[in-house]
Amino acid sequence: MATVQEREFYTVTEAARLLDVSRTTIWRWINDGRLGAYRVGGRTIRIRRQDVQKMLRPTRDDIEEKRDIWANYDPKRALEALRACRGMLQGVDREQLLKDIHDARGQDSTGRPA
């Protein structure tokens, strides 16, 4: 008989144990659509092994990718984009633009959250 970690499908309790979270968290992830689940019969729920494994992802790699804003930087394309935008804000009321931005963000005039 296969061990829990070798099986193709897990119960909610087994998935919670493998991910070291509560059963409530597993149900919340299922209801939010973050974790796939399958109904077997009337009330039985099973979760595929690969869906459980997808919940485990490295955080460091994600952080490093987001930090590198220059990864695909092309100076020629950036210069072309700046030239294409030249003059777009000419004649725009600066104070009204700032007010609109702050209003959209829900901020007071200092730029801090309201």
pLDDT in tens, 80-100: 888 888 888 888 888 898 888
Task: Say if 35 falls within a structural domain.
Answer: yes
Q: Residue 20: which domain range?
A: 4-54
pLDDT in tens, 33-83: 999 999 998 889 999 999 999 888 776 655 555 666 677 788 888 888 888
SS3 annotation, the chain: CCCHHHCCEECHHHHHHHHCCCHHHHHHHHHHCCCCCEEECCCEEEEEHHHHHHCCCCHHHHHHHHHCCCCCCCHHHHHHHHHHHCCCCCCCCHHHHHHHHHHHHCECCCCCEC
pTM over 0.75: no
Query: Which CATH number do you get for residue 21?
Result: 1.10.10
Question: How many structural domains are present in the chain?
Answer: 1
Task: Say if 21 falls within a structural domain.
Answer: yes
Task: Say if 90 falls within a structural domain.
Answer: no
Task: Say if 88 falls within a structural domain.
Answer: no
Task: Say if 95 falls within a structural domain.
Answer: no
Task: Say if 13 falls within a structural domain.
Answer: yes
Task: Say if 73 falls within a structural domain.
Answer: no
